[in-house]
Amino acid sequence: MAVTVRFYAAARKAAGVTELKLDAATAMQVLDKAVETHPNLAQVLPQCSFLLNEVALHDLNTQVLDNATLDVLPPFAGG
């Protein structure tokens, strides 16, 4: 499945890019592939939460559909 991963804030800094397009079957696979090519992500991903098509994702083993968007959100710091 073709998936777009979008990185925000500290995750974007670690990735060095705003987004990646890659092929994977689950959210976990998406992240594993992203870390392979952008290893600095390994430091921030454990702190992050995720949105699949802008809905909170609670299980990284969730299957991703073709053209899905996975957002990587570091800990919030509003206010």
Partner 1 sequence: MANVARAFVTTDVILVSELAAAVRSNTAGAIVTFSGDVRDNDHGRDVSSLEYEAHPTAQNLLEKVASEIAARHEVLSVAVAHRHGPIPIGESALVAAVSAKHRKAAFDACADLVDEVKAQIPIWKHQVFADGTDEWVNCA
Q: What does the binding site for partner 1 look like in residue numbers (CB under 8 A)?
A: 8-10, 13, 44, 47, 51, 54, 71, 73-79
Distance CA 79, CA 64 (A): 33
Closest distance between partner 1 and the C-beta of residue 73, in Å?
Answer: 5
Taking the complex as a whole, the smallest distance from the CB of residue 71 to partner 1 amounts, in Å, to: 7
Residue 63 backbone phi and psi in degrees, to 5:
-70, 145
CA nearest to 20, candidates 12, 28, 77: 12
Could you tell me the smallest distance in angstroms from the CB atom of residue 52 to partner 1?
12
> Closer CB to partner 1, residue 20 or residue 29?
20
